[in-house]
């Protein structure tokens, strides 16, 4: 016998992780509890909107940030409820956001450019969108691949250490409790990652030597 659906309080919803929240929303939908489902979605968007907006802000001209953020959030939520992936929600959201940013630079996001035609001073004489050179630089997109390359050689546990200690800002002691690695080992894993990342970034920033340019050889 199926358990009847129970609408959770604000506090109970806040205590759920993303996957529990998504399951709650699906149960609410199955029980035709529209208000509960809607409120769950509000919490989901509340939790992640600023993260997506920050990811987009790094790479998209300011006046188009909200458009790309909107499209990424909507696409991720709809595809999640359509069952199109099995990733954790925040990971899927990151994938979708990167795709939206890449689409923008590939010129597929024509509607965004159309929207911008209303903005005075944002176009050059030929009607092309005028944006800062730096924000269009491909290196920002290549950075994702570079980080992934450096991380790819790490074991799952070392990646977790890096996520928590380097990116998350937890102390070595806290990461030790979470992962079982000693605090000293946590520090060493993090240091090796930072050193390799720095070396890879320096190599990427270095201008290619004339010998390596196929057009001059």
Partner 1 sequence: MSTVDDLFGAFRTAFRERGDVDPHEYLDQVSGTDRSELEALIDGFLATGPTRAFDEAAFARFQADPLAQRILASVGVAATAAETWATLLPAARERAQIKRSLLVERLARALGVSGRERKVAGYYHRMEHGTLEPESVSPKVLEALSAIVDVSVERLREAGRRMAPPAAGGMPAFARAIAASPVEYSMPAPGPEAPADEDAWDEVDELFCGG
DSSP 135-199: HH-THHHHHHHHHHHHHHTS-HHHHHHIIIIIIS---HHHHHHHH---HHHHHHHHHHHHHHHHH
Between the CA atoms of 38, 40, 41 and 47, what dihedral angle is there, to the nearest 10 degrees?
Answer: 150
Contact stretch for partner 1 (CB under 8 A) within 74-82, 107-115, 116-124, 184-192: 74-82
CB-CB neighbours of 94 under 10 Å: 19
- Quote the CA–CA distance of 116 and 129 in Å, as a whole number: 8
| Distance between CA atoms of residues 203 and 180, nearest Å | 34
**Out of 43, 63, 122, 192, the residue judged to bind partner 1 by CB under 8 A:** 43
**Is residue 30 a contact residue for partner 1 (CB under 8 A)?**
no
Residue 178 token pair: 């979470």
Q: Which of 88, 128, 153, 182 touches partner 1 by CB under 8 A?
A: 88
The residue (of 167 and 214) whose beta carbon lies closer to partner 1 is 167
Interaction of residue 175 with partner 1, rule CB under 8 A: no
Q: Which of 1, 2, 4, 35 binds partner 1 (CB under 8 A)?
A: 35
C-beta of 42 vs 117, nearer to partner 1 = 42
Is 22 one of the binding residues for partner 1 (CB under 8 A)? no
CB 190 within 8 A of CB 165: yes
Q: Which is nearer to partner 1, 16 or 26 (CB)?
A: 16
> In the numeric block, which tokens belong to residue 151?
């991380």
Query: Given the complex with partner 1, which of 53 and 99 has the nearer CB atom?
Result: 53
CA-CA-CA-CA torsion for 109, 142, 44, 69, nearest 10 degrees?
A: -30
The interface region with partner 1, picked from 45-53, 101-109, 112-120, 121-129 by CB under 8 A, is 45-53
Enumerate residues 6+ apart whose C-beta is below 8 A from 190. Answer: 161, 162, 165, 166
Interaction of residue 115 with partner 1, rule CB under 8 A: no
156 touching partner 1, by CB under 8 A: no
Contact call for residue 158 and partner 1 (CB under 8 A): no
Q: Using CB under 8 A as the criterion, which residues of the chain lie in contact with partner 1 when the complex forms?
A: 9-16, 18, 35, 38-39, 41-43, 45-51, 53-55, 57-58, 66, 69-70, 73-74, 77-78, 88-91, 93-94, 139-140, 143-144, 146-147, 162-163, 166-170, 197-198, 201-202, 204-205
């Amino acid at each position: 016998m199926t358990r009847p659906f129970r609408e959770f309080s604000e506090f109970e919803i806040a205590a759920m992780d993303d996957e529990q929240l998504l399951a709650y929303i699906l149960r609410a939908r199955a029980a035709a509890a529209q208000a509960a489902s809607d409120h769950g979605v509000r919490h989901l968007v509340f939790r992640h909107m600023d993260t997506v907006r920050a990811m987009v802000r790094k790479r998209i001209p300011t006046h188009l940030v909200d458009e790309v953020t909107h499209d990424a959030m909507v696409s991720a939520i709809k595809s999640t409820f359509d069952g199109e992936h099995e990733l954790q929600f925040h990971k899927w959201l990151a994938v979708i956001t990167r795709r939206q940013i890449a689409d923008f630079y590939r010129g597929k996001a024509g509607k965004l450019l159309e929207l911008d035609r209303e903005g005075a001073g944002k176009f050059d004489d030929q009607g092309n969108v005028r944006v800062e050179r730096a924000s269009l630089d491909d290196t920002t997109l290549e950075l994702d691949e570079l980080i992934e390359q450096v991380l790819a050689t790490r074991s799952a546990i070392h990646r977790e250490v890096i996520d928590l200690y380097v990116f998350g800002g937890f102390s070595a002691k806290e990461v030790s409790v979470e992962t079982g690695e000693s605090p000293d080992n946590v520090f060493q894993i993090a240091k090796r990652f930072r050193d390799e990342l720095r070396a890879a970034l320096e190599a990427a920033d270095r201008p290619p030597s004339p010998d390596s340019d196929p057009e001059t050889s």
